[in-house]
Amino acid sequence: MGIFMRRFAFHTLDVFTAKPLSGNPLAVIHGADELDTEEMQAIARETNLSETVFVLAPHNPLHTARIRIFTPTREVPFAGHPTIGVAVLLAEQKYGRNEKHEAIIVLEEHIGAIRCGVQIHPNGATGAEFDTPKLSAETGKAPPAERLARALGLVPSDVGFENHKPIRLSSGLEFLFVPVRDRDALHRAKPVIPVWMENIGMPAFIYTKLPEGQEFNFRARMFSPDMSIIEDPATGSAVAALAGALTRFEGLHDGWHERSIEQGVEMGRPSRLQLEFEIVAGRLTGTRIGGQAVVVSEGFLTI
């Protein structure tokens, strides 16, 4: 007697880019309602991407889908590039790519329902944006610059620029934000794993400010050896939380602000993340993340 095998349709996308083979790869597994948590985690280990998304029927029939997001080692309540990637994919599946179209995709995540606006462009990559379900908030005290420098293979003078200092923030997923003085320091940064695990032990977003007049306002890298992600090409949840650092350190006026963040350059997978955030009476009151995504492959997973 043969063994019963189950088949699940899947897609892979590159997210926060308009070009295949750049940006942040994402695996999407469809019809995942019959999979249990252990099976999802095993599939995420098998894909070995920074995140794998499982699409399920929504709890609310007015919503588009429910999704669960896994890294190779654990489930996370929210992440930016899975949200953008799944919104783009489901909109293209529903409306096609032959005509310009604007759509609303509502995704149920552990953190809550997220409403995504999608713009389909027949002659270019589809883009999406969403308001983050939680605002960036400080979550604890950052380690001293000396310890951070050792964990990143840098010297203490590399850490910090202008008013920016290390800070721990979360908008659904916690990161340690480490500003560095210039692109050279950013390029030299590399996790020293034993020191990292002892002194940091959490995802860290390393960023620097670029000179005026360039295409991007900031360049960044994200390391998370504790989650089996040595480096991530594009990290939407970190960019969402970055709004808290910019509000605190940049001395910005009230109103909406836009910033472009370049990530993944050192990995050979350049990514572009768009951040919009609102300040009222000196406080962060709204955050929006945007980016493009392209489908790279599709097929069936048999388990």
- Which are the catalytic amino acids? 51
Rounded CA separation 217/264 (Å): 15
Measuring CA to CA, which residue among 73, 121, 74, 113 is closest to residue 95?
121
Where do the DSSP E strands lie in the chain?
A: 7-15, 24-29, 52-56, 65-70, 75-76, 101-109, 112-120, 126-131, 137-140, 167-170, 174-179, 204-209, 218-224, 229-232, 255-263, 271-280, 283-302
CB atoms within 10 A of CB 21: 11
Rounded CA separation 301/237 (Å): 28
Tell me the Cα Rg of the chain.
19
